[in-house]
């Protein structure tokens, strides 16, 4: 009897150790996802242009001074880096990990940032915005810029997260109005939009955005084989847009699974993600 009791105890301990190791691995070991976007609208000068997409850090650190994450970004040799919101967490506000990250990656390539809901919920965004700009980051707040390469140009725009709205219907209207305000500045052949909310994909399509980068969904938090993400903010159970590339009506959207956690502290089969996108000047 004692022998069997000892075996059971060892089994329980082994299960506990495995669970702890799996939890650490799923929440801390970075993965890189490589995606391609093809478009006839893309100027030839941007063929092969590489964009690293980060999102939803939620004040998390990946080694001292974000060393592991910075190395991942650097290894992709990006021409541009975009961050689509929630660099901080409203519940446990700490901007230092995000600012350290931005200071480091801004030495690799130009960095563009838009807000997520947690920036607004924290009520600390004014100081955070100043720190981001001080770190060398271009903060897009319902604004656009032209990126020029080899005599060609594309438009990159970013909109504020609509977290101030009282309901999802109002949020959709705010997003649409924000994009409307960019029409003149988005007259380039190819348009990139940074917007935190992937559930607004139909709005981006309506405005004929060529390529949108989003986050917010945390990859569905838990991912199941053949099913995908289980739950996401503002999309509920078995959400439609959680990770990867989506193409509808001539409009593409890249959704990052994100880097950190917020309300739910655990990821399953959904490791923190660096997304590397290569643009191609043809439709395939």
- Sort strands 273-280 and 50-54 into parallel, antiparallel or unpaired: antiparallel
Strand, helix or coil at 94?
coil
Is 77's pLDDT higher than 90? yes
Q: What pLDDT, on a 0 to 100 scale, did the predictor assign at position 284?
A: 61
pLDDT at 282 exceeding the cut of 90: no
Closest CA to 192 of 146, 129, 259: 146
CA–CA distance, 57 with 116 (Å, rounded to integer): 11
Residue 269 has pLDDT above 90, yes or no: yes
Kindly report the number of other CB atoms within 10 A of residue 63's CB atom: 12
Share of residues in the chain with pLDDT > 90 (%): 82
Whole-number CA gyration radius for the chain: 20
Instruction: Please return the burial class of 117, using the count of CB atoms within 10 Å of its CB with bins 0-12, 13-18 and 19+.
Output: buried
Cα 23 from Cα 135, distance rounded (Å): 32
Q: What is the pLDDT of residues 171-209, one digit of tens each?
A: 999 999 999 988 656 668 899 999 999 999 999 999 999
User: pLDDT band for position 145 (50/70/90)?
Assistant: very high
Q: How far apart are CA 158 and CA 115, in angstroms?
A: 9
Burial level of 126, CB count in 10 A (0-12/13-18/19+)?
Answer: exposed
Measured in degrees and rounded to the nearest 5, phi and psi for residue 74 equal -60, -40
* pLDDT for residue 61 is more than 80: yes
- Give CA–CA dist 91/264, Å, rounded: 12
Architecture of domain 31-280: 4-Layer Sandwich (3.60)
Who contacts 279 (Cβ-Cβ below 8 Å, separation ≥6)? Answer: 37, 39, 42, 46, 47, 48, 49, 50, 51, 211
pLDDT of residue 18: 84
Q: What is the pTM of this model?
A: 0.94
Residue 11's pLDDT is what? Answer: 84
Q: Which of the four pLDDT bands, split at 50, 70 and 90, describes residue 161? A: very high
**Strand ranges inside the chain, DSSP E:** 31-38, 50-54, 80-83, 111-113, 138-139, 143-149, 152-158, 191-194, 211-214, 223-224, 228-229, 231-232, 236-237, 244-248, 251-255, 273-280
Q: Is the pLDDT of residue 169 over 80?
A: no
User: Would the pLDDT of 228 be above 60?
Assistant: yes
Among residues 59, 142, 150, which one has the least CA distance to residue 100? Answer: 59
């Amino acid at each position: 009897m004692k022998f069997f009791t000892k075996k059971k105890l060892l089994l329980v301990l082994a299960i506990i150790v495995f669970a702890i190791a799996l939890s650490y691995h799923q929440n801390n070991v970075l993965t890189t996802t490589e995606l391609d976007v093809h478009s006839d609208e893309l100027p030839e000068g941007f063929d092969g242009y590489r964009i690293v997409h980060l999102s939803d850090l939620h004040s998390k650190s990946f080694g001292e001074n974000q060393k592991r994450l910075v190395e991942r970004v650097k290894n992709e040799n990006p021409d541009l880096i975009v961050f689509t919101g929630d660099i901080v967490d409203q519940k446990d506000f700490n901007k230092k990990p995000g600012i350290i990250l931005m200071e480091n990656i801004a030495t690799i390539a130009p960095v563009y940032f838009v807000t997520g809901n947690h920036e607004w919920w924290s009520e600390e965004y004014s100081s955070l915005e100043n720190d981001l700009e001080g770190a060398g980051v271009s903060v897009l707040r319902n604004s656009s810029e032209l990126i020029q390469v080899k005599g060609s140009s594309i438009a990159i725009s970013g909109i504020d997260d609509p977290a101030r709205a009282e309901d999802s219907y109002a949020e959709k209207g705010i997003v649409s109005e924000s994009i409307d305000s960019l029409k003149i500045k988005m007259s380039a052949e190819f348009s990139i939009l940074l917007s935190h909310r992937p559930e607004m994909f139909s709005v981006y399509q309506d405005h004929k955005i060529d390529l949108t980068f989003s986050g917010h969904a945390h990859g569905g938090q838990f991912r199941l084989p053949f099913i995908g993400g289980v739950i996401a903010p503002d999309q509920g159970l078995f959400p439609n847009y959680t990770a990867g590339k989506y193409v509808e009506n001539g409009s593409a959207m890249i959704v990052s699974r994100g880097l950190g956690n917020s309300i739910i502290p655990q990821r399953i089969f959904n490791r923190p993600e660096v997304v590397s996108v290569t643009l191609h000047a043809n439709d395939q």
